[in-house]
């Protein structure tokens, strides 16, 4: 007998357990692992509201100002009456202007001005400057896997207990200088906050959100297998629930054929001839831009469980992802030349936590003569391959499989460091072998 | 590797000579550095074989351990090394100047200025290669916890006096070398390859002989040929003509020359110990001395070429003028030196085996800040480095073509002039990106407003900004370059009119960077005694770091 998987019920069960531990548990910390698009932000907002309802003032620590503003807006949307404090920096334009329209959100650069509010939200960097205040009884740490251990060290004195929420599969935090000296220490300052927290407090309850609401049924199995082999998750929707259609028929070109393949299967690989290129490979950049141009020109429409009618695939629903900033800049100018300025183009680091209908990705290893740890990092590929609700199109030079075979991971193994599975090498192979089933050759 | 470095390397391959990566010297060089060329024993961690050390290029001091596995001889070597290095260090400790430092008053908790001493100069240690820095660290670690008979009469194997102190200094220097831009302890290959690009890989650049061959090849030879010769050429006995810069030695040297010599020395020592009368002992002492002399000659023959190469490299570097900010960074090195001098004088214990959580986080924060500072300062000091940043889209230079006065909104309008710069560079300017230029040594900030249409498409002056969107990202560059419109936002004084010289004028040549010139200090971390529960609580508490000291639990595999 097989039980039918009910994603809604599964997710609700997980959320209830998390909230129970957070509100009534005895441990000082609760850790929640969330795969891409599993409702992490929804959980954070809900936990904040329930803690506030229970009369427990709390602080929320996010990593970027954009994340903080987003959380404030979501909180106000759910409960416009809730008194929220937005602690911000003293720079010019420190927060999203949209916050000015919210009557119950107080904004200040001084923590003292916000004392007594139910929820106070800021970035880890700003919280680190808050000194000499009574510790909060509760904290929520958002994107805790992208927070560095030293950032947690700076703020952990501000709260007694905390809920740590994050996605372990995304990019690890990094340091711009070497930190091998501390590798293997439980409090390695360059490790992620959760790694340090759990090394010192292994008894803390760890939860997992089991359902990705973002990733379509075509993507969840691949992303789960390749990046979360030991903590699998499912998609919240079935194979028929999402559809991507185009009003204009294919003109038979490479971009159009890969768009059709991706619309049909959720994945498309546009393969350019093998070649070693500089990072800003002009041909690959042009191919990316043309795919985006055609996506818009062909009048795409996305049908999903959210609405009965198809939503037009507009520029704000498409994103281009790259590994390096200069690649993103090159794509932006290529798009501008084709008259498409509004599409988001960014690096994996900056696309973390964002969601689009269709993503067009430049493979991090495309055209490279070597495969460095940076380009092999599991999280980078995971971020790029898990931003989409409908389809992901990867543009890549041929020959990456051989490149991988020529460059097995050679990073030194450090004593005391937990080996991260899967390694980037393996994850890259898994993704490539899946993509090869959806391959369209450029220009043939 | 940045694009400009790649181009320089390609050019080096093409021309057969290393190409400059810098027009000024980005590291401070002392007038009287202490050069240290150590050799280590293969297969034995931390067993020095010998070293050349000193401040006089014509008269290095040769230190040799004839039997590296003999710990007494090793101690004798370290004691001799301390006799050379510590007087050198001490000679800088006395000469001080008055300086001020911000400290937190323990009673009021306020920041107050405190008058303190700052050493007027600092001792500088130069080793041939990066492996030499690791060796300095290793020596420091192996010595700083030793106890002398004076410190602890009970200690079973007392170290010679001053050896633990040398260990503390070498540890300090080894740690300081991890701070980007610091110059207390320099690896010559690193400094040389910062200033020149060769046509070989960066791994090969760590071979001092090959690196110098590219930078300064003999007249009749290309750098590539000379480098290959430096790496491979062997004499009739199969020995490398240019021995590796150490501390590791060439295996052919170990096997064919060193091993037999040490064996002869061992035999002579055993024989001497077994001598039955004075005459026999005299003979055998002669043999021992001869055996020792042979090892000394061997060590000298392998270190002297490196010694000379190090000084040649220093000559090449000294030919470059020192960058303006390199002097500032050297002042930080002097602070670092003075700080450690004070800790030693105050009788503080040696540096701990491992950093605690707070110290580690503080060090990482400092180093990240210094790295960013170094990158900005090198670009500001050196047009060639700035060219690399411009090529990477992180800066742009050009001529001011237009300045329009404008003011901020609000009760007290401040000047916010709009400056148009024509540039051939292609900076990666995002919406409202901040850019900076150096104004009298201080950074002046401006905000990117947009690209002006090249055809002069009738945009109202002062009308850039949100309502226009202003931002034309593509097509702005033609043969005449792009017109970047910036809004200057600070460093113009308090009045309504900007101070003279604080706003660029038409025709000025300006260079703006997308990166900040100065680094803000980070937030203060808690004191180590207040380490939070997430990081194991204060150090010293037993449960804080259980996995460091407890052995692994026995698993099934252990008892198979």
> Token pair for residue B533?
């529960």
Chain A residues within 8 A of B354 when measuring between CB atoms: 185
Q: What is the average pLDDT across A277-283? A: 90
Contacts for A26 with CB less than 8 Å, ≥ 6 apart:
none
CA B437 from centre of chain: 27
CB contacts, 8 Å: A129 with chain B? 523
What sign results for the dihedral spanned by CA atoms B256, B261, B264, B265?
Answer: negative
Question: Are A149 and B535 a contacting pair at CB < 8 A?
Answer: yes
pLDDT at A249: 92
Q: What is the pLDDT of residues B366-392, one digit of tens each?
A: 999 999 999 999 999 999 999 999 998
Q: What is the pLDDT of residue A444?
A: 58
Contacts of B180 in chain A (CB under 8 A): 177
Mean pLDDT value across residues A356-360 = 95
Kindly identify which residue of chain A lies nearest to residue B370, measuring between CA atoms: A177
CATH no. of B383-513: 2.40.30
Would the pLDDT of B431 be above 60? Answer: yes
> Stretch A412-416: mean pLDDT, rounded?
80
CB contact under 8 A, A153 and B525: yes
**Mind listing the pLDDT tens digit for each residue in B513-527?**
999 998 888 888 999
What is the distance in angstroms between the Cα of B65 and the nearest Cα belonging to chain A?
Answer: 30
% of chain B with per-residue pLDDT over 70: 92
**Residue B472, pLDDT above cutoff 70:** no
Nearest Cα to B428, choosing from A330, A341, A176, A322?
Answer: A330
The DSSP letter of residue A357 is E
How many Å apart are CA B187 and CA B194, to the nearest integer? 11
Chain A interface, mutation test: which of B448, B535, B536, most A Cβ atoms within 10 Å?
B535
Residue of B nearest to A174 (CA): B368
Distance CA A386, CA A170 (A): 10
pLDDT digits (tens, 9 = 90+) for A4-32: 678 889 899 999 999 999 999 999 999 99
Question: What pLDDT score was predicted for residue B463?
Answer: 38
Whether residue B533 and residue A200 make contact (CB cut-off 8 A), yes or no, is yes
pLDDT at B460: 37
Say if residue B461's pLDDT is above 90: no
Question: Residue B554 corresponds to which tokens in the numbers above?
Answer: 């026995």
Q: Give the pLDDT confidence score for residue A224 in this predicted structure.
A: 93
Start-to-end CA span in chain B (Å): 50
Name which of A197, A325, A326 is nearest B534 (Cβ-Cβ): A197
What pLDDT is recorded for position A436? 93
Extents of the domains making up chain B: 3-245+306-351, 383-513, 528-558
Tell if the CB–CB gap between A150 and B532 is shorter than 8 Å.
Answer: no
- Helix (H) or strand (E) run with residue B19 in it: strand B19-20
Q: Is B361 on the interface with A (CB under 8 A)?
A: yes
Confidence of residue A198 (pLDDT cuts 50, 70, 90): very high
Distance between the two ends of chain A, CA-based, in angstroms? Answer: 48
Question: Phi/psi of residue B60, each to 5°?
Answer: -70, 155
Interchain contact A416–B (C-beta under 8 A): yes
The span from the CA of B178 to the CA of B364, in Å, is 10
For residue B551, what pLDDT is reported? 61
Tokens of B475: 């097509």
Q: Which carries the bigger pLDDT value, residue A419 or residue B197?
A: B197
List all residues 6 or more positions away from B506 whose beta carbon is below 8 Å from its beta carbon.
B400, B401, B402, B403
* Distance of residue B219 Cα from the nearest chain A Cα, in angstroms: 35
CA gap A376, A381 in Å, rounded = 8
Are A336 and B357 within 8 A, CB to CB? no
How far apart are the C-alpha atoms of A371 and B336, rounded to whole Å?
39
Decide if A176 and B371 are in contact by the 8 Å CB cutoff.
yes
Chain A residue with CA closest to B548: the answer is A185
- Residue B560 scores a pLDDT above 70: no
Q: Residue B310: which of B193, B188, B402, B200 has the closest Cα?
A: B188
pLDDT, mean of residues A377-393: 92
Q: Are A378 and A422 in contact (CB under 8 A)?
A: yes
Q: Does A129 touch chain B (CB under 8 A)?
A: yes
Chain A residue closest in CA terms to B543: A200
Range with lowest mean pLDDT among A1-10, A142-151, B115-124, B149-158: A1-10
The minimal CB distance from A187 to the residues B370, B392, B536 is found for B536
Q: What is the mean pLDDT of chain B?
A: 89
Query: CA A112, A118, A119 angle in degrees (round to 5)?
Result: 80
| For residues B76-88, average pLDDT | 96
Contact list, A325 vs chain B (CB under 8 Å): 428
Between CA B233 and CA A251 the distance in angstroms is 63
| SS3 track for B464-517 | CCHHHCCCCCCCCCECCEEEEEEEECCCCCCCCCCCCCCCCCCCCEEEEECCCC
How far is it, in rounded angstroms, from Cα B496 to Cα B412? 8
For residue B548, pLDDT beyond 60:
no
Structure tokens that stand for A253 in this block:
């070109």
DSSP code string of A208-254: E--EESSS-TTTHHHHHHHH-TTS--EESS-TTT-EEEESSPP-SSH
A189 interface with B at CB cutoff 8 Å: yes
Tell me, what's the pLDDT at B83? 95
Total residue count of chain A as it appears in this document: 444
Q: Which helix (H) or strand (E) holds A321?
A: strand A318-322
Cis peptide before A359 (omega within 30 of 0): no
Higher pLDDT, B515 or B110: B515
CA gap B129, B38 in Å, rounded: 10
Please state the pTM of the whole predicted model. Answer: 0.89
Taking CA atoms, what residue in B is nearest to A159?
Answer: B532
B417 or A172, greater pLDDT: B417
- Å from B545 to nearest chain A CA? 7
Pairing of strands B509-513, B395-404: antiparallel
Is the CB of residue A131 less than 8 Å away from at least one CB of chain B?
A: yes
- Tokens of residue B104, six digits: 């937190």
Q: What mean pLDDT comes out for the span A328-350? A: 90
The residue written with tokens 């008269």 in the block is B59
Q: Identify which of A128, A179, A186 has the shortest CB distance to residue B536.
A: A186
pLDDT band at B468 (very low <50, low <70, confident <90, very high): very low
Would you state the pLDDT for residue B559? 63
- pLDDT value for A208: 93
Q: Give the mean model confidence (pLDDT) for residues B415-428.
A: 93
What are the angstrom distances between the C-alpha of B102 and each of B114, B116, B358? 6, 10, 20
Give the pLDDT confidence of A88-111 residue by residue, as tens digits.
998 878 888 888 999 999 999 998
CA–CA separation, A325 and A343 (whole Å): 16
Provide the token pair at B16: 């057969």
pLDDT at position B458 over 70:
no
Nearest neighbour of A28 by CB, restricted to B530, B533, B545: B533
User: Which of A176, A178, A200 has its CB closest to that of B535?
Assistant: A200
Report d(CA B386, CA B447) in Å as an integer. Answer: 20
Confidence at B547, pLDDT banded by 50, 70, 90: very low
CA distance A179 to chain B (A): 7
The whole-angstrom distance between A309's CA and the closest CA on chain B is 33
Does any CB of chain A come closer than 8 Å to the CB of residue B300? no
């Amino acid at each position: 007998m097989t039980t039918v998987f009910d994603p809604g019920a599964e997710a609700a069960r997980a959320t209830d357990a998390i909230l129970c531990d957070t509100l009534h548990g005895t441990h000082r910390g609760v850790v929640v692992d969330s795969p891409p698009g599993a409702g992490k932000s929804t959980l954070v907002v809900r936990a904040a509201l329930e803690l506030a309802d229970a009369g427990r003032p709390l602080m929320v620590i996010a990593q970027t100002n954009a994340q903080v503003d987003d959380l404030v807006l979501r909180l106000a949307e759910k409960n416009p009456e809730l008194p929220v404090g937005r602690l911000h920096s003293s720079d010019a334009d420190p927060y999203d202007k949209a916050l000015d329209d919210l009557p119950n959100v107080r904004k200040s650069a001084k923590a003292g001005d916000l004392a007594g509010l139910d929820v106070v939200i800021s970035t880890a960097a700003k919280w680190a400057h808050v000194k000499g205040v009574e510790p909060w009884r509760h904290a929520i740490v958002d994107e805790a896997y992208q927070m560095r251990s030293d950032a947690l060290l700076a703020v952990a004195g501000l709260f007694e207990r905390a809920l740590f929420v994050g996605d372990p599969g995304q990019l690890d935090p990094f340091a711009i200088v070497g930190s091998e000296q501390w590798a293997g220490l439980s409090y390695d300052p360059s490790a992620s906050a959760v790694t340090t927290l759990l090394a010192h407090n292994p008894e803390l309850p760890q939860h997992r959100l089991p359902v990705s609401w973002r990733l379509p049924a075509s993507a969840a199995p691949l992303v789960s297998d390749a990046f979360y082999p030991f903590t699998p998750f499912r998609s919240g929707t079935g194979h028929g629930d999402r559809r991507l259609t185009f009003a204009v028929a294919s003109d038979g070109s490479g971009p159009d054929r890969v768009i059709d393949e991706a619309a049909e299967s959720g994945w498309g690989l546009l393969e350019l001839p093998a070649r070693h290129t500089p990072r800003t490979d002009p041909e690959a950049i042009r191919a990316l831009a043309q795919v985006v141009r055609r996506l818009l020109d062909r009048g795409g429409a996305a049908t999903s469980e959210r609405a009965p009618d198809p939503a037009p695939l507009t520029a704000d629903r498409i994103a281009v992802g790259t590994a390096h900033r200069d690649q993103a800049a090159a794509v932006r100018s290529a798009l501008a030349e084709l008259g498409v300025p509004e599409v988001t183009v960014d690096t994996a680091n900056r696309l973390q936590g964002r969601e689009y209908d269709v993503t067009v990705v430049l493979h991090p290893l495309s055209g490279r003569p070597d495969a460095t740890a940076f380009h092999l990092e599991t999280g980078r590929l995971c971020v790029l391959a898990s931003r989409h609700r409908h389809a992901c199109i990867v543009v890549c030079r041929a020959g990456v499989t051989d490149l991988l075979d020529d460059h097995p991971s050679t990073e030194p193994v450090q004593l005391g460091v937990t080996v991260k599975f899967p390694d980037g090498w393996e994850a890259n192979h898994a993704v490539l072998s899946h993509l090869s089933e959806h391959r369209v050759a450029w220009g043939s | 590797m940045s694009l400009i470095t790649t181009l320089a390397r390609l050019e080096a391959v093409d021309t057969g000579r290393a190409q400059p990566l810098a027009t000024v010297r980005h590291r401070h060089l002392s007038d009287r550095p202490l050069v240290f060329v150590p050799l280590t024993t293969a297969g034995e961690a931390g067993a020095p074989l010998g070293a050349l050390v000193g401040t006089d290029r014509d008269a290095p001091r040769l230190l040799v351990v004839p039997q590296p596995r003999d710990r007494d001889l090793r101690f004798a070597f370290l004691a001799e090394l301390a006799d050379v290095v510590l007087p050198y260090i001490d000679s800088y400790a006395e000469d001080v100047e008055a300086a001020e430092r911000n400290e937190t008053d323990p009673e009021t908790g306020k920041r107050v200025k405190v008058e303190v001493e700052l050493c007027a100069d600092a001792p500088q240690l130069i080793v041939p290669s990066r492996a030499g820095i690791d060796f300095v660290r290793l020596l420091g670690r192996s010595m700083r916890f030793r106890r002398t008979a004076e410190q602890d009469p009970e200690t079973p194997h007392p170290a010679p006096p001053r050896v633990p102190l040398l260990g503390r200094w070498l540890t300090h220097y080894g740690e300081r070398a991890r701070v980007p831009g610091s110059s207390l302890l320099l690896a010559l290959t690193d400094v040389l390859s910062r200033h020149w690009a060769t046509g070989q890989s960066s791994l090969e650049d760590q071979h001092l002989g090959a690196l110098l061959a590219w930078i300064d090849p003999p007249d009749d030879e290309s750098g590539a040929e000379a480098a290959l010769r430096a790496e491979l050429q062997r004499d009739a006995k199969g020995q490398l003509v240019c021995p590796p810069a150490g501390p590791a030695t060439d295996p052919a040297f170990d096997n064919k020359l060193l091993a037999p010599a040490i064996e002869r020395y061992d035999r002579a020592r055993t024989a001497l110990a077994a001598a039955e009368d004075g005459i026999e002992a005299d003979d055998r002492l002669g043999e021992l001395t001869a055996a020792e002399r042979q090892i000394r000659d061997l060590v000298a023959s392998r270190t002297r070429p490196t010694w000379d190469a190090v000084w040649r490299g220093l000559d090449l570097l000294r030919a470059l003028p020192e960058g303006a900010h390199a002097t500032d960074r050297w002042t930080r090195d002097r602070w670092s030196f003075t700080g450690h001098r004070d800790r030693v004088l105050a009788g503080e214990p040696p540096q701990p085996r491992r950093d605690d959580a707070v110290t580690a986080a503080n060090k990482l924060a400092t180093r990240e800040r210094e790295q960013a500072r170094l990158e900005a300062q090198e670009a500001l000091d050196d047009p060639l480095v700035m060219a690399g940043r411009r090529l990477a889209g992180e800066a742009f230079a050009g001529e001011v073509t237009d300045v329009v006065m404008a003011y901020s909104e609000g009760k007290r309008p401040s000047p916010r002039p709009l400056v148009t710069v024509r540039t051939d560079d292609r900076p990666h300017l995002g919406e409202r990106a901040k850019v900076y230029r150096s104004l009298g040594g201080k950074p002046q900030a401006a905000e990117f407003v947009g690209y002006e249409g090249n055809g002069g498409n009738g945009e109202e002056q002062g009308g850039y900004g949100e309502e226009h969107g202003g931002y034309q990202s593509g097509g702005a560059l033609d043969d005449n370059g792009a017109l970047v419109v910036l809004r200057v936002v600070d460093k113009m004084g308090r009045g309504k009119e900007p101070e003279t010289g604080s706003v660029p004028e038409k025709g000025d040549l300006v260079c703006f960077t997308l990166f900040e010139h100065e680094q803000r200090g980070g937030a203060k971390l808690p004191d180590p005694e207040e380490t939070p529960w997430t990081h194991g609580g204060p150090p010293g508490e037993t449960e804080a770091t259980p996995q460091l000291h407890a052995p692994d639990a026995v698993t099934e595999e252990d008892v198979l």
